[in-house]
Structure 1
């Protein structure tokens, strides 16, 4: 596990962009943290690293937002509304096994659907309103290599 402190929104986007450049088709990232902790801001950086020009918005009310205009497609998911079940009916594994990158917020509600290999990123607020502490927890050799390269 690697810990990173980010001092502002721009550093959050930059880290996401660095990781986005290292991702390949079928990669899954799971993001957890309180509301407003920076998960969607980080995903904007992932999109930038994938050369996706679109405006990235939170998928809270749609569950999945798809972006297809970059180096790889990005599937941005918010599983919060699946707290009471239903994930198995959405076919999430089709996204996870696809030609794109999946970023899942609130993945604890779809843990049974996740592949064996993924990168978990835990967002924690600090006493400073703008600073975030991220813990990068790789599951699998590919993601261990990505974390090492950062």
Structure 2
């Protein structure tokens, strides 16, 4: 029996689900968070994952962690902060949309999002740069 495969993972500002077609639109894809003040807070962001190759009738548990790269400190764990998502067989694929509010990136620097399925870490990651913008004189 094959295991589900993480086809993609995205980070964006907004997700819209079309009422008639049920299609998802991802608005404001990003990998960098700019701020003029400390600490850097992302008020709202969405993490979208798409799992394919689901050939069983089992429920699979997905969760993710946001980790500061310089010291591998975990700043967010969806398994600790909310109920994990269940990835169910849905014609061989499943899309998970997670909304996060007020995530603090302190200090500025590099972060990454690590994904797990059934407690197994996945090779794909999303990298984020949290940056303080400097005032520019025109």
TM-score bracket for this pair, using the shorter chain length: under 0.3
Structure number with larger C-alpha Rg = 2
- Could you state the TM-score of these two structures normalised by the residue count of structure 1? 0.25
Bigger fraction of residues in helix: 1
- Could you state the TM-score of these two structures normalised by the residue count of structure 2? 0.27
